[in-house]
């Protein structure tokens, strides 16, 4: 199946661009964004995922503010052209690659809408390829890059419109593609003898003249099997960004973490992380959460609107909940991002701490799928 991208010299296989190189049913290609006020007043998340072998394109937009989280979900049959990033009233426009994108959610029956422009503050941060197995099967084989930036525009929800001012609303763009578990689980075959296990920490942080990037996966024994740590220069003028990647970025190859959990949960009450350079340079950062966002608002672990699930030719829905009334140890409430105040060497920054913690982790005393701290 041809698409307009086949007119460019970008092919990686003998197939047209629309044909994934892998036949795995869980092939995906995803946009993801967050945005948050510099005082932690609110947080919003955005996601759009294409699943070519499942024939689905889905998306989500969600905001948490004032003790409530509001979410828009939508899904459609995947278009024949993979560049058609539109699901009903929702669309993503690439204004300038690696510099500016626009996210629009037109007014619709859910009462949730937005018109937001993301402008880069840094060059892109390429993470290493992430590959993991469960038993003998590859469960994840993905590439990801992140980019720090600012937001401008507006969000409407609950009958009010919130102005988004670039001078105080920061965020991160995340693009990833490859293979990840999505959609309905496979059926048949012998059950696995091992518990599902994922321990993921991700902390992109904005500082006054740079940004720091921290991300890792640990196994059930508490050993880190993948990590990405970098310090990248930040620019007020996106035209000053020197390229897709920044020659002045510093790779910090060793990461450390110490989480203080809220009792009865797997959610951080605070955290201390460190990025360590090859020459022994250490950046030690203390993180204090300000507001918590449940990633189910944009489909992650959602019991009804999970990624890659067939909902029909076009479907959409909205929902809201009070943050202090949800069950903290329910499966769909585990994947979270918290806006955090960051402090290091007398400097103050702002960013997020993302947590996924399913299954054992020896260092923190987790032994079952979801036993709390």
pLDDT tens for 78-133 read 998 888 999 999 999 999 999 999 999 999 999 999 999 999 999 999 999 999 99
CB 122 within 8 A of CB 211: yes
Q: Is the pLDDT of residue 315 over 90?
A: yes
DSSP helix/strand/coil, 117: strand
Domains and CATH numbers, the chain: 23-185+193-364 (2.40.370.10)
pTM over 0.85: yes
272, 257 in Cβ contact below 8 A? Answer: yes
Residue 333 token pair: 């409430």
Q: Which H/E stretch holds residue 230?
A: strand 224-233
Q: Per-residue confidence at 29, pLDDT binned at 50, 70, 90?
A: very high
Distance (Å, rounded) from C-alpha 125 to C-alpha 143?
11
Tokens linked to 233: 């220069």
Q: How many helices (H) and strands (E) does the chain have?
A: 0, 24
Beta-carbon contacts of 196 under 8 Å, excluding residues fewer than 6 positions away, are 134, 358, 359, 369
Q: Give tens-digit pLDDT for 224-233.
A: 999 999 999 9
User: What would the pLDDT profile of 42-69 be if each residue is shown by its tens digit?
Assistant: 999 999 999 999 999 999 999 999 999 9
What pLDDT score does 8 carry? 87
Give the whole-angstrom CA distance, residue 252 versus residue 281. 8
Q: Which of 41, 101, 31, 111 is nearest to 70 (CA)?
A: 111
Phi, psi of 181 (to 5 degrees): -65, 120
The pLDDT of residue 193 is 84
Q: What's the CA gap between 271 and 361, in Å, rounded?
A: 16
- The tokens for 164 are 């988004």
* 146 touches 123 (CB < 8 A): no
For residue 66, the number of C-alpha atoms closer than 13 Å in the C-beta half-sphere is 6
Q: What is the pLDDT of residues 283-313, one digit of tens each?
A: 999 999 999 999 999 999 999 999 999 999 9
Buried b (16+ CB within 10 A) or exposed e, 143-170: ebbbbbbbbbbebbbeeeebebeeeebb
Buried b (16+ CB within 10 A) or exposed e, 352-370: bbbbbbbbbbeebebeeee
CA distances to 28, 101, 260, 296 from 47, rounded to whole Å, are 12, 13, 29, 11
């Amino acid at each position: 199946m041809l698409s307009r991208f086949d007119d460019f010299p970008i092919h990686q296989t003998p197939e047209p661009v629309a044909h994934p190189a892998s036949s795995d049913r869980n092939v995906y290609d995803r946009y993801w964004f967050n945005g948050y006020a510099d005082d932690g007043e609110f947080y919003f998340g955005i996601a759009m995922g294409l699943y070519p072998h499942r024939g689905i394109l889905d998306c989500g937009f969600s905001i948490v503010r004032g003790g409530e989280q509001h979410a828009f979900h939508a899904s459609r049959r995947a278009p024949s052209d993979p560049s058609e990033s539109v699901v009903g009233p929702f669309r993503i426009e690439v204004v300038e690659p690696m510099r500016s994108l626009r996210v629009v959610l037109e007014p619709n029956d859910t009462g949730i809408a937005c018109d937001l422009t993301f402008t880069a503050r840094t060059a892109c941060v390429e993470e290493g390829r992430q590959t993991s197995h469960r038993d003998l099967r590859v469960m994840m084989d993905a590439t990801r890059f992140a980019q720090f930036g600012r937001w401008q525009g507006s969000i409407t929800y609950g009958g009010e419109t919130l102005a988004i001012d670039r001078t105080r609303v920061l965020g991160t763009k995340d693009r990833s593609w490859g293979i990840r578990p999505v959609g309905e689980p496979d059926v048949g075959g012998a059950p696995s003898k091992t518990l599902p296990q994922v321990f993921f920490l991700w902390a992109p942080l904005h500082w006054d003249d740079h940004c720091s990037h921290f991300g890792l996966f640990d196994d059930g024994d508490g050993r880190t099997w993948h990590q990405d740590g970098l310090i990248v220069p930040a620019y007020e003028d996106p035209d000053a960004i020197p390229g897709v990647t920044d020659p002045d970025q510093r790779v910090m190859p060793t990461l450390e973490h110490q989480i203080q959990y809220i009792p009865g949960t797997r959610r951080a009450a605070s955290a201390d992380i460190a990025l360590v350079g090859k020459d022994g340079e250490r950046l030690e950062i203390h993180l204090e959460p300000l507001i918590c966002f449940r990633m189910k608002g944009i489909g992650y672990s959602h019991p009804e609107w999970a990624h890659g699930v067939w909902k029909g030719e076009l479907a959409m829905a909205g929902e809201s909940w009070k943050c202090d009334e949800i069950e903290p140890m329910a499966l769909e409430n585990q994947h979270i991002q918290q806006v955090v105040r960051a402090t290091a060497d007398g400097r103050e920054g702002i960013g997020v701490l993302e947590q996924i913690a399913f299954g054992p982790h020896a260092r923190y005393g987790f032994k079952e799928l979801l036993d709390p701290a």
